[in-house]
Chains A and B, each alone.
Chain A
Amino acid sequence: MRDALSANDFAHLAAWPKVQAVSTMLKAQFPFMSAAGERMWTSCGPIWACRFEAALSALNTADDLATAVNGYVRFALESQRLQHAFFKTGDYAARSFQQAAEAVYMNEGYMQRQYLPGLLLSHFLWRHHYDLLCFFERSFLTQMKNAAGGSCLDFIDIGIGTGLYSKLILTDVPESRGLGLDLSPTAKAFTEHQIASIGAGDRYRIRLTDILTAEDVPSTRWLISVELLEHLDDPVAFLRRVAEALAPDGKAFLVAALNSPHPDHIYLYRTPQEVRSQAESVGLNTEQTFSAIAPGHRKGGPGAPEVAALVVSRPSR
């Protein structure tokens, strides 16, 4: 039997104290959950730890980190339990957007203590979420950086969630200004805290709104929407709004979760091609695609959870 855990077990993470603290807590309190972080370090090394540490910038106390770890564990276990049931039924539980909103987005306690911290940590503890982040950086963020060139660059983030992706843009593109659109007051508060932690609050504003009915959505050349499509009754209607919001030659980074049951996942995407077909059906051009299966699952296995991303553009007239 091992001796009691100490910080020395994660001495290699000393340069990233928050990542070290998260890793230590996971190993000590939830040992069956700790392998994911250890695998990420082994395969992705210091750059993973750097990115993870930066993502934790708004969590400044031991209590903040403990709450995040507890939230992640519950988020992950709930996901696994729902996945277990999904493998048997092959379908999501029938639910409307309104029902999902009441159960999740408007449930402050659930959002604050489980959903948002869980989702945030999953971007660095679930390999397919981390690979998605890396694809975003090289495929879309790089284009934004190149386009900015010292000039102001506006972007819209629809379905801000944890604010992670907006935060990445604001960090890497100092000329950027963002507008975040979301339904959830808790997501708004969480994201505001994230953005404030990097001192970019004056470059970002959030509007609480339903994108399907929102008026006065400004035209933009840069739009992101990460894992929102599967939350909607009618993703094509949303994609139509995306196409309308994009300026000629504008680009969007769109992500959907596939075969991933969650309390707020309504639309079941089974393949990445389904997402692409929907985007192209509203006139968007596909420039790049990406997909990644969750670790421990095989492609072609029974409903393996997966993320699918597209970089799309609106044709110029």
Chain B
Amino acid sequence: MSINKLQDIFREVFADDQLVLTPELSAKDVEGWDSFNHINLVVAIETEYGVQFATQEIAALNDVDGMVKLMRSKNIDISF
């Protein structure tokens, strides 16, 4: 499954239709990626993919690559 659905989630959470996901993309690169929107992002992913992440798992998320790896660990088929 492609990254497009995840990219759509990012674009909605951060209100940026031009946002393009790369593995290296992190909070340093995205305006508004603070703790509040981090949770918004996580909850949106959980809702869309029907999974649940532990607090420690989401605390350790630093970039999109980490997020994709975490999603794959929950048996979500996703790749760049």
Contact = CB atoms under 8 A, between A and B. Distances in A.
Contacts, number: 51
B62 A29 contact: yes
Interface string A54-67: 00000000000000
Contacts of A81: 39, 42-43, 55
Nearest to A32: B27
B36 A296 contact: yes
B29 A80 contact: no
Contacts of B73: none
B34 interface: yes
Contact of B38 (A2, A77, A296): A77
Chain A contact surface mostly:
helix
B75 interface: no
Contacts of A73: 59
B26 A76 contact: no
A77 B28 CA distance: 18
Contacts of A208: none
Interface string B8-34: 000000000000000010111100011
Contact of A80 (B24, B26, B28, B36): B36
B36 A31 contact: no
Contact of A84 (B24, B27, B33, B43): B43
A136 to B, nearest CB: 25
Nearest first, the 5 closest Cβ-Cβ pairs linking A and B are A32-B27, A80-B39, A31-B27, A32-B38, A73-B59
Interface of B: 24, 26-29, 33-40, 42-43, 55-56, 58-59, 62
Interface of A: 1-2, 29-33, 35-36, 70, 73-74, 76-78, 80-81, 83-84, 296
